[in-house]
Amino acid sequence: MSRRPMVRPGGRSARVQEAVHTAVRELVAEVGRDALTVPQVATRAGVTPSTVYRRWGDLKELLSDVAVERLRPEAPPEDLGNLSADLTAWAEEFLDEMSSPPGRAYIRDALLGDPDGGNGGQCSAYAAEQIDVVLARAADRGETAPDVETVIDRVVAPMMYRILFRPDGLDPAYAHRLVTGLLTAGA
């Protein structure tokens, strides 16, 4: 990430990023991730290979950036009227998305082409922001709520650990149990 210049929305830098990210997504769908090369991506995006190398370093870092973009949440978590319902719904959806084959591929890409740890941190920040929204709503309702770091330890981390290290048998009931275990412990 340290190579990447600041991106002004609408500027040339933002247009290049958009074109290159789109090229990667299209080519991954067409030829598969393992056959992808930087010159191919550059041709499709209408830029020179050196533009890609200068900005992203190598293909792994480019795939990592594209993955982080794909993992960005599209909307705030649903408001179902109470903390337990909100957190359960969020956790079930998170587990469903992240444990899907594309979700797992994006997580791996994000972690692996990430020499300075910034992209892994960004993935975690996305989850923390969504949880913050859920917890702020609970506070507004006067509900007792744990802090965001506790939710990460008790709900996000176990789901992500099992997605990465032991993906068999994950289901919504697991997400539900984690949330119930946290909230009934009297946080």
Question: Are 109 and 63 contacting, i.e. CB atoms less than 8 angstroms apart?
Answer: yes
135 binds its own copies (CB under 8 A): no
Q: Using CB under 8 A, which of 156, 175, 179, 183 touches its own copies?
A: 156
Residue 117 binds to its own copies (criterion: CB under 8 A):
yes
With binding defined as CB under 8 A, does residue 154 bind its own copies?
yes
Q: Which is nearer to its own copies, 33 or 54 (CB)?
A: 33
Q: List Cβ neighbours of 92 (8 Å cut-off, separation of 6 or more).
A: 172, 175, 176
What b/e string do you get for 124-146 counting C-beta neighbours within 10 Å, with b at 16 or more? eeebeebbeebbebbeeeeeebb
| Binding-site member from 31, 50, 76, 161 for its own copies (CB under 8 A) | 161
Residue 68 interacts with its own copies (CB under 8 A): yes or no: no
CB of 33 to its own copies, least distance (A): 12
Q: Which is nearer to its own copies, 139 or 185 (CB)?
A: 185
Using CB under 8 A, pick the residue from 152, 170, 172, 176 that binds its own copies: 152
Rg (CA), the chain: 19
Stretch that binds its own copies, among 16-24, 62-70, 93-101, 112-120 (CB under 8 A): 112-120
Distance (Å) of CA 141 to CA 97, 137, 158: 28, 6, 28
* Structure tokens that stand for 89 in this block: 């719904």
- 24 lies in the binding site for its own copies (CB under 8 A): no
CB of 115 to its own copies, least distance (A): 10
Burial, 39: exposed, middle or buried (Cβ in 10 Å; 0-12, 13-18, 19+)?
exposed
Q: Is 165 in the site for its own copies (CB under 8 A)?
A: yes
